[in-house]
Structure 1
């Protein structure tokens, strides 16, 4: 396998780029450009059918005689399948209190929208007014979630004209073209763009599909689109839920929120949501796989609090693999606050603030990811222990790898007993390619605690550093002693001499990149003569198994192919 894979990294990367091209939403997305992945799920005998114009007098038992969705949710027995015909389901909130399969009719696109179409606008000077507007969604987040520069982020009202979102403003006086204002006290909605001849939609529901009741455990949601909800498209509080091949976009806060165990989220497009794409709280054994998670935090919530592509809290055993995580206006993949046994493998994460962030947590496998063009760091470890960082390709991030420790330590005795100390220790860094950066390649300062960096990172070896110039960027920044903040090393040889670490690593300075096919075009496959070929240390069994390659044999440096090569 490896002799063949040595010539091609990144069947993973190519697969994820293709996935993004097929299902991601363009930056200037409108209703017309939103799509749901085409699906063709089998329809079991005894299924129930719904459509936007379904009639309660219909049988509900054939595609030509559908019910309204509300009747099917109420009437179908536990274990039933409800098949959604294509079209737009308006002002829908589905509270599921039994085990159901909710799926799209073959090759059709069912859209569940938390909005309604508004007419009856009254001109008022240069703006337009809707009277008797009975909907208002004021902030319901923690104060820390709001960036002072964007005080309207927490207001969850949304208005769209022809599918394009308008910006909410704080007063009627501020209404201008492209904006709207909700006067909740007087029950009026104002917009600054002419509604004549256009479709105006506004949010009236908080959530799309709610699977909170424990009786809904084991339910499946697949092939649906959920948009325009004030809070989230899907909320999960029941165990064992599967969410696959859906589109969750343009929701006011989150695409999907998970507060239960053994949930599987795969093949979805989770993009352009107000705060984050996926939120997991005590989401033990979550599987987040092969999703496109892009352009979230459109409302500009505080980037250091909860905004992200994915944020997981207080969770054990989550696996995040094979996802394309692109252009979220905050962190890409983020495990925070006493997570444990987290696995981030085979992801592509680019153009975020931090690509992969492991914070105040314990035990992680971060392996075989392609991480590039992130504005602060590619991978960041902060007050977290036992992170094993293997075979990642890190390119053009401000800092490709950032490891830090502060005085913020855990005080919960039960968590400390499990090793969740919030102290950065036992970080292992092996087999990675660190390819150029705008800041330091590998930054592990001791400034906050005045401790030597080798307490945080006792093991780093078999890595490769590439720069086109010896003067920039700096290879490593490291604290050698307990009273030192940091010391810069412009060459790997000087770092090896000072620390005894990185004894089998490479430092290549060359105007021509010898590693990749075309890094300037984000093609990070290894060239046929790449110095990374076969140079990696054999992987521990659990790391190899997580990536999907053989253990205990030499591997390439950088991200590895995640499939067997039949050639």
Structure 2
């Protein structure tokens, strides 16, 4: 059960619309220093500054820290290249190449060397073209509109890791001395599960591209692991580094779009940053009208991308194998994620009941997530929470996530349309304490409960429509393919306003439950139904529904090609109207076949 009272503590203020002094004053020390959680001192450092300095190991007085940082803000703020957001008359293109020179003109034949210096020199409206190769940088775009992209046919990679050399054997392991880079480590509680405190340690190491697992003490080092001895400034590994490329993350973030309204990032990879909680993500998109296209953010310690703003679009991108979340959004207006892979996230093992998983959006309005692949995340796949409203989740493949495939929590006015959810750890689709929800034309297979609607103490469920779906073959721990209940044991499904009909149930002998439905009837106990007549008698609903118990699924065309559309002989479902019909691509008022209406794509 989700912990229903813990909020997403990373929703820190002061990132988007504060000036340099305010950002500098919003500071925190390591755990135990009696200061807030977050620190944004890097926000005030010009793009040309070196940002990989070692962090202090000991706490100093609160007043001392704030005084120092305020003094830094006064000194460095005049150095920032602040052109405002209005494009100048003659926009130009700046070219950057790993073999360039920062004293160069920035032309195609005379490129600059670093992305940060190009961003600093560019004016609003300019384009920054990155030649293929690796850039070991962290870059802030502040108060200007820039278009940053890779050279067509090439790929620029911002990489937070550097090579670590000079290894010495000792006791069957190997160590490298002189690693002075240190990161703030988040203590247990909140997003860090007390049983896995190492999740809050941003340190990362890689050997020949393979990620090593961090351990908490020298004696635990084995092949495939590493230990950071912060007292001795040593890195320990259990693999023989001879002839191998060993790397460790040294930088904290890749891109920070800060009041950079209208900027774009295209065909760029951001990887292996040791992102601390205060920096949230390898890419921070804290501006309006940003577009991310063809972007990959992978193998970062925390979040792939974090977005706050209006009119932000993410398309044709990949957010994979990040430590906490692939995509995070908060306080968004008109946010679109489409044709994007969000896969394998929460590798570090953050608390999946708090916020960790694939894609989570909170406190937002006007969210669309479509035609994407949200799979193999350790936690919920797609998750809306904390008063997110006017949401469309359509035509996604949502597969093998550790908790619910699609979780609609404390949200309202949500359309869940035409998705395919496969083999998720909890419900394929879970509607929790939410209102005005439509769940239409989805296929949910091999999850604990195919579709679950649940009321709790924080908010009454109201007006949930579950129509034209395929609910199929539950796995272990299932109560029923369709589960509707109030876990406070106060209200019935009828009082919640849950309506169902024209659903197809496939219950082969391999299904872990024969129950079609579990229907809340409080103050009486929930009623279970194992056939359609019983389901209709108990619920007073279920008109037009179908049940099949054969060993061959009659409600799918080809699982091999992810074609979960029902065959042409399948009965028509209930009429679909309005925005749901438009998103599904059918005329308003038409009655399409039960089940998904399009083929999903594995990305």
Same fold (TM over 0.5): yes
Whole-angstrom distance in 1 between the partners of 2:322 and 2:384: 19
Matching of residues 86-165 of structure 1 within 5 Å? 86-90=132-136, 92-97=137-142, 98-140=144-186, 143-165=189-211
Distance 1:106 1:446 in 2: 54
User: Hey, which bits of structure 1, 4+ residues long, moved more than 6 A?
Assistant: none
What CA distance in whole angstroms lies between the structure 1 residues aligned with 2:309 and 2:337? Answer: 14
Residue 466 (structure 1) aligned to one of 501, 506, 527: 506
Q: Is the CA contact (8 Å cut-off) linking 1:471 and 1:490 kept in structure 2?
A: no
Match status 1:388 vs 2:428:
no
Separation of aligned partners in 1, 2:528 and 2:591: 31
Q: Is the 8 A contact 2:346 2:379 kept in 1?
A: yes
Do 2:342 and 2:374's aligned partners in 1 also have CA atoms closer than 8 Å?
A: yes
Distance 2:109 2:550 in 1: 64
CA distance in 1, matches of 2:251, 2:552: 55
Write out aligned runs for 1:439-478 (5 A). 439=478, 440-469=480-509, 472-478=513-519
1:413 is matched with which residue? none
The alpha carbon displacement at 1:63 in A equals 4.8
- Structure 1: how far apart are the matches of 2:411 and 2:533? 33
Report the Cα distance in structure 1 between the residues aligned to 2:91 and 2:146, rounded to whole angstroms: 14
Q: Which residue pairs with 2:300 in the alignment?
A: 251
Equivalent in the alignment of 2:261: 217
The Cα offsets for residues 136-191 of structure 1, whole Å up to 9 and x where unpaired, read as 22334772212233221110100001110111111122222211111223322222
Residues 221 and 237 of structure 2 are in contact (CA less than 8 Å); yes or no, is this contact kept in structure 1? yes
| Structure 1 range deviating more: 440-449 or 381-390 | 440-449
Distance 1:329 1:471, change over 3 A: closer
Higher relative contact order (CA 8 A, sep 6+): 1
Residue matched to 1:202:
248
Cα distance in 2 between the residues matched to 1:155 and 1:326: 25
Equivalent positions of 1:468-547 (< 5 A) are: 468-469=508-509, 472-480=513-521, 482-519=522-559, 522-529=562-569, 531-532=570-571, 535-547=572-584
* Cα deviation 1:191-242 (Å, max 9, x = unaligned): 2222221111111111100002x1x111001101100111232111111111
* Cα separation, 1, equivalents of 2:105 and 2:112: 7
Give the Cα–Cα distance (whole angstroms) in 1 for the partners of residues 568 and 363 of structure 2.
44
Aligned with 2:190: secondary structure? helix
Q: 2:28 aligns to what? A: none
CA distance in 2, matches of 1:63, 1:509: 69
Please give the secondary structure, in 1, of the residue aligned with 2:181.
coil
Whether the aligned pair in 2 keeps the contact of 1:548 and 1:562 (CA below 8 Å) is: no
Pairing 1:340–2:389 present: yes
1:311 partner SS: strand
Residues 488, 183 of structure 1: alpha-carbon distance in 2 compared, 3 angstrom cutoff: same
Aligned partner of residue 448 in structure 1, secondary structure: coil
TM-score (norm 2): 0.80
Give the 5 Å matches for 1:300-449: 300-352=349-401, 353-407=403-457, 409=458, 422-438=459-475, 439=478, 440-449=480-489
Equivalent residues of 2:186, 2:192 under 8 A apart: no
For the 8 Å contact 1:447–1:486, the answer to whether it is kept is: no
Q: Is the 8 A contact 1:549 1:562 kept in 2?
A: no
In 2, the alpha carbon distance for the partners of 1:468 and 1:521 equals 21
Which region of structure 1 is more displaced relative to structure 2, 398-407 or 548-557?
548-557
Report the counterpart of residue 41 of structure 1 in structure 2.
none
State whether residues 545 and 551 of structure 1, in contact with CA within 8 Å, keep that contact through their aligned partners in structure 2: yes
Alignment coverage as a number of residue pairs: 500
Q: CA deviation at 1:386?
A: 1.0
User: 2:152, 2:562 → 1: CA distance?
Assistant: 36
RMSD: 2.0
1:557 equivalenced with 2:601 (yes/no): no
Question: What SS does the corresponding residue of 1:397 show, helix, strand or coil?
Answer: coil
Q: Distance in 2 between matches of 1:141 and 1:369?
A: 37
- 2:339 alignment counterpart: 290
1:429: how far off?
Answer: 0.8
Which residue of structure 1 aligns with residue 284 of structure 2? 235
Aligned to 1:7: none
Aligned to 2:103: 57
Find the counterpart in structure 1 of residue 131 from structure 2: 85
CA distance in 1, matches of 2:324, 2:393: 22
Could you list the per-position Cα deviations for residues 223-276 of structure 1 after superposition, in whole angstroms to 9, with x for gaps in the alignment? 011001112321111111111101111000110011222110111011000011
In structure 1, the partner of 2:9 is none
CA drift of 1:495 comes to 1.6
Query: Would the aligned equivalents of 2:564 and 2:595 in 1 still touch at CA under 8 Å?
Result: no
Q: Secondary structure at the match of 2:536?
A: helix
Deviations 1:496-522 (A, max 9, x none): 122321122122222332221234775
Q: Secondary structure at the match of 1:455?
A: helix
d(CA) in 2 for partners of 1:45 and 1:451? 62
- Please give the alpha-carbon distance, in whole angstroms, between the structure 2 residues aligned to 1:63 and 1:562: 46
Structure 1: unaligned runs, 5 residues or longer: 1-43, 410-421
Please tell me whether the aligned partners of residues 114 and 135 of structure 2 are also in contact (alpha carbons under 8 angstroms).
no
Gaps of 5+ in 2: 1-89, 276-280
Where does residue 166 of structure 1 map in the other structure?
212
Question: Aligned pair in 2 of structure 1 residues 142, 102: CA closer, same or farther (>3 Å)?
Answer: farther
Distance change (3 Å), C-alpha of 1:276 and 1:429: same
SS at match of 1:173: helix
